[in-house]
Amino acid sequence: MIRAFLLDRLAVIILFMLNTALATVVFHLFFSTKESSVERGVVAYAFLLCLFLLVTWLIVEYVRSRRYLKKLYEYTKGEGQDGLFENMHMPTYEARLWQEGQWQQRRKYEEKLDMYIRAHEQQQLFFNQWVHHMKTPVSVISLLVQQGKNDGNDTVLDEISDENDRFRHGLELLLHLARLDHFAMDLKAEKVDIITVISSIVNEEKRQFIRRGVFPEIQGERGVYFVYSDEKWLRVLLQQIVFNALKYSPQQAGAKMTFKLREGKSQILLDVIDQGVGIAKHDVPRVFEPFFTGENGRKFQESTGMGLYLAKTIAKGLGHSLTLTSEKGVGTTVTIAFSSKTLHNMTTL
């Protein structure tokens, strides 16, 4: 510990000794030119006096820094305790600035760590809920398959298909959520025709539209509305919105789902409008929170509270804006704004 203390101040010690020696030599030469001499004892006394001041300064500096150096030494040997830098009194202004910098870095690190821990806990919670959610379809499918074999009833087979769709949507949601951690590594900016993407999704889910009695309507011409985005992730975003609209639309009641494209100021806007049950006014501000299902979650067993969260997260990653308005008993409108600050601009920086 003393060795480290002296090594840190070695340059000051050498400079002090050189300065003292130089001053002594100059003093001696000055009197030599005056045809007078200085006794060697006087020179030695002056040198020793300077040396005494140096040693005194080193002792005072060591006493002031001893506790600080001791704690640092214990910490480097693994004998220190957590919170060392918060409880340590720094001997110099420079050390205190360094301490403040360490505190700030630690606070940032702890904030990031808490964020990652919360994200991991949310993901684990969702996985657990999803597994529990899938147990019921497993049992139902097993019973329906057995009944279908015995009765040869096509209606039973249709019900099996419905349960299988629930499986498919649940699995897709799980996979997309698992990929969010590597979202930025899986982006490709490309020119996308929004109408083409919407038509493809509607065609893929046509059996769902037919079974639920919901009629899709696309307001816009193909080959007119282009944006820069990642088509794969944009499809996932739109699929979550469509699934939600289908789920909460009145079944077999001739409800419509409208995809309305319009141009705003330096924006292309897509409204997905359904005629579903709507969302309570006090629930609207929280619909994008993970696991939040609100009042509708108590009425619809399929609600996971993750579809809109996933859509919002993807929209943010793509540089798009996602908003929602709703009126209970009337329907819901989800709006995606493709502004000039798109994925194309983000990936070319």
The pLDDT score that the predictor gives to residue 80 is: 54
Q: Label residue 173 exposed, middle or buried (CB < 10 Å: 0-12, 13-18, 19+).
A: buried
Note whether 332 and 258 are within 8 A (CB).
Answer: no
Are 86 and 223 part of one and the same domain? no
Residue 180 inside a domain? The answer is no
Query: In angstroms, how far is the first alpha carbon of the chain from the final one?
Result: 51
What does the alpha-carbon distance between residue 301 and residue 100 come to, in Å, rounded to a whole number?
A: 52
Q: Note the pLDDT tens digit of each residue in 97-119.
A: 777 777 788 888 888 888 888 88
> Of 43, 62, 91, which closes a domain?
91
In a domain, 294, yes or no: yes
What's the length of the chain? 349
CA 200, 201, 206, 210 torsion: positive or negative? negative
Instruction: Say if residue 200 is in the same domain as residue 69.
Output: no
Residue 205 lies in a domain: yes
Whether 219 and 74 share a structural domain = no
Mean pLDDT, the chain, rounded, equals: 79
d(CA 319, CA 327): 27
Handedness of CA 9, 11, 15, 21 (dihedral sign): positive
What average pLDDT score do residues 64-68 get?
A: 76
The yes-or-no verdict on residue 291 having pLDDT over 90 is no
Under DSSP, is residue 171 helix (H, G, I), strand (E, B) or coil? Answer: helix
Segment among 152-161, 271-280, 309-318 with least mean pLDDT: 152-161
Smallest Cα–Cα separation from 245: which of 194, 198, 193?
198
In a domain, 328, yes or no: yes
Torsion of Cα atoms, 44 then 46 then 48 then 50, to 10°: -150
- Rounded Cα–Cα distance for residues 231 and 192 (Å): 6
Claim to verify: residue 87 and residue 219 sit in the same structural domain? no
**Do 80 and 196 belong to one domain?**
no
Residue 177 has a pLDDT of: 77
192: β partners = 227
Residues 198 and 60 in one domain: no
97 located within any domain: no
* Residue 158 belongs to some domain of the structure: no
CA pair distance 237, 312, nearest whole angstrom? 8
Quick one: 340 and 199 in the same domain?
Answer: yes
CA–CA distance, 99 with 96 (Å, rounded to integer): 5
Are 328 and 203 in a shared domain? yes
Single residue among 62, 91, 120 that ends a domain in this structure: 91
What is the reported pTM? 0.61
Rg of the Cα trace of the chain? 37
Whether residues 55 and 200 fall in one domain: no
CATH (domain of 312): 3.30.565.10
Asked if residues 286 and 312 have their Cβ atoms less than 8 Å apart, the reply is no
| Domain-embedded: residue 163 | no
Residue 50 tokens read as 């300077």
Q: Is residue 176 part of a domain?
A: no
Domain housing 255:
189-349
* 67 plus 200 within the same structural domain: no
Do both 336 and 207 map to the same domain?
A: yes
Beta 255-264 vs 214-219: how paired, if at all?
A: parallel
The structural domain count of the chain equals 2
pLDDT band at 172 (very low <50, low <70, confident <90, very high): confident
Q: By the 8 A CB rule, do 256 and 202 touch? A: no
Query: 91, 106, 131 — which closes off a domain?
Result: 91
